[in-house]
Amino acid sequence: MQEDFQLVPAVDVLGDRAFRRERGDFEAATREAGDPVEPVRRFAAGGPPLLHVVVLDAARHGGAPVELARRLAEAAAPVPLQLGGGVRSPEDALALAAAGVARVIVGTAVFEQGPAPYVEALGDRLVAAVDVRDGVVRTHGWERSGGLGVVEAVRLCRGAGVARLLCTPLDRDGTLGRPDLE
């Protein structure tokens, strides 16, 4: 099996500010970076292949951040924006895509509803978020167990035709440590 890895700049958004979150812990989101448009614009100027944004409040409580997505997609252009947080229905996912998001990240809903409706709605624009702590998938802003181990989650997604997976080991997230390639 061929393994493809891509490193991309990431911005976490909490409230209306960009933050650096560490290890999936909302209390550790203490390094504020201001208006999220600014770091997105700054990263895009470097010409990465993609920019990654997670809207933390939305990931925790739901509610696709469509207007924020539109602003960030405009700031990132021409660099494609990958954005997640709050997607709880295929309609949410399509609204983010219509706002200019090139790849829509779906985590909680993929594991609660199954990936098929999201694959049908988004095709290869879907990124299934497999956020993992202690070998178990986490949902609802990393606060609940998704009830699946990482291998089961990957098999579920791949079996449903998910083309892209984003696997985040939460114990390393935001630490600027080396990727957990295992």
From 4, 12, 35, 57, the catalytic residue: 12
Per the structure block, which two tokens stand in for 36? Answer: 């999220």
* Tokens encoding 54: 């997670």
Residues 16, 131, 173, 180: which is the catalytic one? 131
Alpha-carbon distance 100 to 169, whole Å? 28
Instruction: Give every CB contact of residue 77 below 8 A, 6+ residues apart in sequence.
Output: 44, 100
CA proximity to 65, closest of 32, 92, 34: 92
Q: Which helix (H) or strand (E) holds 138?
A: strand 136-139
Query: Does 4 qualify as catalytic in the annotation?
Result: no
Neighbours of 31 (CB within 10 A): 12
Whether 92 sits among the annotated catalytic residues: the reply is: no
Burial class (CB in 10 A: 0-12, 13-18, 19+), 49: exposed
Strands 10-14 and 51-55: parallel
- Say how many C-beta atoms besides its own lie within 10 A of residue 13's C-beta: 27
Positions annotated as catalytic residues are 12, 131
